[in-house]
Structure 1
Amino acid sequence: MADTGCKVRSATIEDLAAVAEIYRPYVESTAISFEQEAPTSQQWRARFDNVVNAGLPFLVAEADGVVLGYAYCSPWRTRPAYRRSVESTIYLSGAARGRGLGGQLYTDLLEACREWGAHRVIGVVADSGDPSSLRLHTRLGFREVGRLTEVGHKFGRTWDTVLFEHRLG
């Protein structure tokens, strides 16, 4: 993997403002996220607390003290039989895209999930016309296991999602 010059570490509450700013353009300007409105600071705090309180990883990548991306896993489903399956989330700032940072951050996330005891990591990727996330998942060993057609509606049209899984153990 290319040296990105970035450090990946566990996120803190102090990182949430930067995380929110990275995510905002994806919500407001793309179909990569199916959210219609950017989460508030209180909503980000609740997401962070839910991840951390479950013992799951919430990571950030930074260079020179600036957060350039984040990734975390959350429970795939709430029923107990799903407890070893998690859903991954990863977003990079516009300036960080195309530098290999996504691969570095995701690789560290997968290792943290393995250490946590996850068996499967599920990626749910909007097929938004930007193939970079689809390629990233494939390159990191995720296997495409399905497509949900027209399940999202944003910007006056419908969008598919592609389901990926990565077996950790």
Structure 2
Amino acid sequence: MTLPLTIRPAVPADIPAIAHIYGDAVLNGTASWEIAPPDEAELLRRFEAVLAGGYPYLAAERDGLLLGYAYAGAYRPRPAYRATVENSIYIAPEAQGAGVGRALLAALIDDCTARGFRQMIAVIGDGNGASVGSRCLHERAGFRLIGIAEKVGFKHGRWLDQVLMQKELSEGDKVPPTP
């Protein structure tokens, strides 16, 4: 019998599994446009920066195995963007297509809404190609297409498009954000 999927805050002890998942995405996919996977020390530094910024970093596990992770961070660094976050979701190859991404995205949306963020942006690498599944995942979660930057990245010997999708959170643009 398979245990249910658990979504929880990520902890520093998750970094080796996160490094493994992200490393595969960097080397074999187009969701990340990094060319070489960062080491565990760098991923720990990034993890700590996300948390220090007041953003969520979540892990999905089943049977004690980390199957994926998701986090939100600043969409852009300037203060006027303070109510807008960008999401990132990475799933272990063996768990793709099993609902892990859907569960992580739903939990991330809930967490960001509870923290008072108003807009969530998905920047999908190769959203018209290999990462089309990510585009569909976001569409099912209520994101809408807001733009496509064509052929702005080059990886795995080909030019990649970048798809931008957006979802309004909480009160959205109905009232000003909290300072």
TM-score (norm 2): 0.90
For 1:122-133, what aligned pairs fall within 5 Å after superposition?
Answer: 122-127=121-126, 128-133=129-134
Q: Are 1:12 and 2:14 counterparts?
A: no
How many pairs does the alignment contain?
A: 167
Matched residue, 2:157: 156
Matched residue, 1:104: 103
For 1:2-41, what aligned pairs fall within 5 Å after superposition?
Answer: 5-41=4-40
Q: Are 1:135 and 2:141 counterparts?
A: no
Structure 1: any 5+ residue segments left out of the alignment?
none
Aligned to 2:117, the other structure's residue is in SS state coil
Q: Are 1:145 and 2:146 counterparts?
A: yes
Write the distance in 2 (CA, Å) between the matches of 1:78 and 1:66: 34
Matched residue, 1:117: 116
Q: CA deviation at 1:32?
A: 2.3
TM-superposition CA deviations, 1:52-104 (whole Å, max 9, x none):
00111000000111110000001011100000101100011111111111111
Write the distance in 2 (CA, Å) between the matches of 1:54 and 1:139: 28
Compute the RMSD of aligned alpha carbons.
1.4
Q: Identity of paired residues, percent?
A: 39
